[in-house]
Chain A
Amino acid sequence: MATVELKNLRKTYLTEEIIKGISLSIEEHEFVVFVGPSGCGKSTLLRMIAGLEDITSGDLLIDGQRVNDVEPGKRGLAMVFQSYALYPHMNVYKNMEFGLKLSGMPEAERRAKIENVARTLQLEPYLNHKPGQLSGGQRQRVAIGRAIVRNPKVFLFDEPLSNLDAALRGQMRVELSALHRKLGATTIYVTHDQVEAMTMADKIVVLQKGVVEQIGSPLELYHHPRNLFVARFIGSPPMNFFSAIFQGGDAAGSSVQLRDGSTLYVPVTSPGLLPGTKVTVGIRPEHVELASSGPNSGVVEVIERLGAITLVHVRMPDGEIIVVQTDGAVLTDVNSPISLTLPPRNCHLFAPDGLAFEACHRHPLAA
């Protein structure tokens, strides 16, 4: 098992810089997830680690060794591709055997290993099948099996579940988590699925346009997003934002004036900020509470009933929409007036440059 360290990695295609200086260290056994919007460079970064893309500058260390110029096959990694990328002309057994054979492992040892992995992944009945004869889920298992048999130091996954249907994706997610616990291998996993990121990761790396926006545990990102981008990106449905005027702060909190004139005292510090500055308030839909009357009143515009929960879209007097996630059985109807309560402890404040104000108290689950 291994550590991976990225030191100011950069990648330039022709003239365009795609990866703009990424530093990151990944511990042994850690499950790290790269998330970010499409085109932000997740796959490129993963492929740089794999050795499939050249590193323009910076250092890549695996187990403390600089591997920038080491061939992909010699880095001790295994990769699972989004498209599975099985060898179509080889059967399942041969697919898994290919890498072992190249490494010169004796036949008997290869067979024992493959049979063992095939048993774990329930692939035994299919060892003689060609990839074309398998379902999507089975192909995915073969791709994972091909990675496992090589006993790599680090597993790399590039959106491995995105070609599967929702039910199978959920099942594979659980299986992958279990597998990771069992093998304990260092894993780097690219996805744009929130649920995969939140449930599987020890550490999430949020990328945007080739730079790291934040690195942290799932709940750290959820409770303490470092900036507006992470706040908007993590969480579904996304956080609500509205503007406010900063009035002043002390060690226990900062007060802001909302558009309707009411003030909110949020437990975050605001060192050096001048009163009168325009700031952004953020609150997640699941933290807004509904009230029949009071301040912050608006009109229900859309109701999405998902069974267990209901999403209420409220149009505020200033025209902004605030989404509230509430009980599945809530009786509110479209066009009815409604009031919102914004619990200050769940509010986030963002300075004009997008950075979040430091919370006075860390969330216990995100210490």
Chain B
Amino acid sequence: MALKAKTSTRIGVTILGWGIALWLFFPIFWMILTSFKSEVQAISTPPKLFFMPTLSSYAEVFERANYWHFALNTVTVSVAATAIAIALAVPAAYSMAFMPSKRTRGTLLWMLSTRMLPPVGVLVPIYILARNTHLLDTCTGLAIVDMLTNLPIIVWMLYTFFREVPAPILEAGRMDGATRWQEMTMVLLPLALPGIASTALLSLILCWNEAFWSLNLTSSHAAPLTAFIASFSSPEGLFFGKLSAASTLAVAPILVFGWISQKQLVRGLTFGAVK
């Protein structure tokens, strides 16, 4: 009897889990599905689940815009922003986690509070700053802004992961003659690697999909994939087939990358539990 109840609970949980997963995945699924429809099929009511797939939307998208140009910009900006942010955040989080002062908590909260500011509120000053420093429509400019917007979250996440590393292990390193730098790179980083990897992955995803600043600070030269998608939405009215094809092309690389690295991600997110 007890066993039976347990089995049914397990089935229930499984169904619920799949339900939530499908619900979360549905928009992506529908987007991919729509990208293989013709424009007519894409807007037909009721929506069609089964149809003759076509690559016409993809063909048109490739014809009209240089996908590789946008993709290269996105990769450049995301990787650069993430790499710089991690490089800056590791020492910051290290000092906050292992040499806290009475202001550490406050600093962390204050850093996070900058994320609560709506970006549009600082659009004009940042735009002017970018213009005056000739960083408008450059990958450098966009990478700097992306890096800065993500930095608080990255520091916060790394801080949380570093806090999981027992301080005596680092102190043992110091007793063994390690400098602060060696202590950080030879003891802390290997131990916190899963956490750093999942933080970097999150940062990559955030940069990859960042639209507000890319649309406002770039026009052509440094326009990333989000601008590529946007170029298929407004001007000529909505063509869902092409829009979906463009979106699918835009998210596909990061989706695949996330899938490959999901093992790392899960390990990172459950770091505390498996330590």
Chain A contacts to B: CB under 8 angstroms: 14, 50-52, 71-74, 77-79, 81-83, 85-89, 98-99, 102-103, 146, 150
Complex CA gap A85/B190 in Å reads: 15
- Establish whether residues B175 and A74, one from each chain, have CB atoms under 8 Å apart when the complex forms: no
Tell me, yes or no, whether B182 is within 8 Å of chain A by CB: yes
Q: Give chain B nearest CB distance to A124 CB in angstroms.
A: 22
Complex CA gap A82/B176 in Å reads: 16
Tell which of A77, A79, A87, A102 touches B169, judged by Cβ atoms closer than 8 Å. Answer: A87
Complex CA gap A158/B190 in Å reads: 26
Complex CA gap A102/B171 in Å reads: 15
Cβ–Cβ < 8 Å partners of B179 in chain A: 71, 73
- Establish whether residues B191 and A89, one from each chain, have CB atoms under 8 Å apart when the complex forms: yes
Cβ–Cβ < 8 Å partners of A81 in chain B: 168, 171-172
Complex CA gap A50/B171 in Å reads: 10
22 A–B pairs (Cβ distance < 8 Å), ordered by A: A51-B175, A52-B171, A71-B174, A71-B179, A73-B174, A73-B177, A73-B178, A74-B177, A78-B175, A79-B171, A79-B172, A79-B175, A81-B168, A85-B166, A85-B168, A85-B172, A86-B172, A87-B169, A87-B173, A88-B191, A98-B176, A99-B176
Knowing A88-B191, A89-B191, A102-B182, the reply to whether A83 touches B166 (Cβ < 8 A) is yes
Tell me, yes or no, whether B4 is within 8 Å of chain A by CB: no
Tell me, yes or no, whether B6 is within 8 Å of chain A by CB: no
Additional A-B contact list (16), CB under 8 Å, known A71-B179, A102-B182: A14-B102, A51-B174, A51-B175, A72-B171, A73-B178, A73-B179, A79-B175, A85-B168, A85-B171, A87-B173, A88-B169, A98-B173, A98-B186, A102-B176, A146-B176, A150-B176
Cβ–Cβ < 8 Å partners of A52 in chain B: 171, 174-175
Complex CA gap A81/B187 in Å reads: 16
Complex CA gap A332/B5 in Å reads: 60
- Establish whether residues A73 and B191, one from each chain, have CB atoms under 8 Å apart when the complex forms: no
Chain B contacts to A: CB under 8 angstroms: 102, 166, 168-169, 171-179, 182, 186-187, 190-191
Complex CA gap A73/B187 in Å reads: 15
List the 7 shortest-distance A-B pairs measured between CB atoms, nearest first: A73-B177, A99-B176, A85-B168, A85-B172, A102-B177, A81-B168, A89-B190
Tell which of B102, B174, B182, B187 touches A87, judged by Cβ atoms closer than 8 Å. Answer: B187
Cβ–Cβ < 8 Å partners of A87 in chain B: 169, 172-173, 187
Q: Give chain A nearest CB distance to B164 CB in angstroms.
A: 12
Cβ–Cβ < 8 Å partners of A71 in chain B: 174, 177, 179
Q: Give chain A nearest CB distance to B272 CB in angstroms.
A: 14
Complex CA gap A72/B183 in Å reads: 12
- Establish whether residues A73 and B190, one from each chain, have CB atoms under 8 Å apart when the complex forms: no
- Establish whether residues B178 and A102, one from each chain, have CB atoms under 8 Å apart when the complex forms: yes
Cβ–Cβ < 8 Å partners of B176 in chain A: 73, 98-99, 102, 146, 150
Tell which of B173, B175, B178, B191 touches A77, judged by Cβ atoms closer than 8 Å. Answer: B175
Q: Give chain B nearest CB distance to A104 CB in angstroms.
A: 10
Complex CA gap A302/B178 in Å reads: 56
Complex CA gap A60/B14 in Å reads: 63
Cβ–Cβ < 8 Å partners of A82 in chain B: 168
Cβ–Cβ < 8 Å partners of A98 in chain B: 173, 176, 178, 186
Cβ–Cβ < 8 Å partners of B182 in chain A: 102
Q: Give chain B nearest CB distance to A102 CB in angstroms.
A: 4
**Which partner residue on chain A sits nearest B178 by CB separation?**
A102
- Establish whether residues A73 and B169, one from each chain, have CB atoms under 8 Å apart when the complex forms: no
Complex CA gap A83/B165 in Å reads: 13
**Which partner residue on chain A sits nearest B191 by CB separation?**
A89
Cβ–Cβ < 8 Å partners of A83 in chain B: 166, 168
**Which partner residue on chain B sits nearest A83 by CB separation?**
B168
**Which partner residue on chain B sits nearest A96 by CB separation?**
B176
Cβ–Cβ < 8 Å partners of B191 in chain A: 88-89
Complex CA gap A74/B176 in Å reads: 9
Complex CA gap A85/B177 in Å reads: 15
Complex CA gap A87/B183 in Å reads: 11
Q: Give chain B nearest CB distance to A83 CB in angstroms.
A: 5
Q: Give chain A nearest CB distance to B171 CB in angstroms.
A: 5
**Which partner residue on chain B sits nearest A81 by CB separation?**
B168
Cβ–Cβ < 8 Å partners of B177 in chain A: 71, 73-74, 99, 102-103
Q: Give chain B nearest CB distance to A332 CB in angstroms.
A: 49
Q: Give chain B nearest CB distance to A96 CB in angstroms.
A: 10
Q: Give chain A nearest CB distance to B176 CB in angstroms.
A: 3
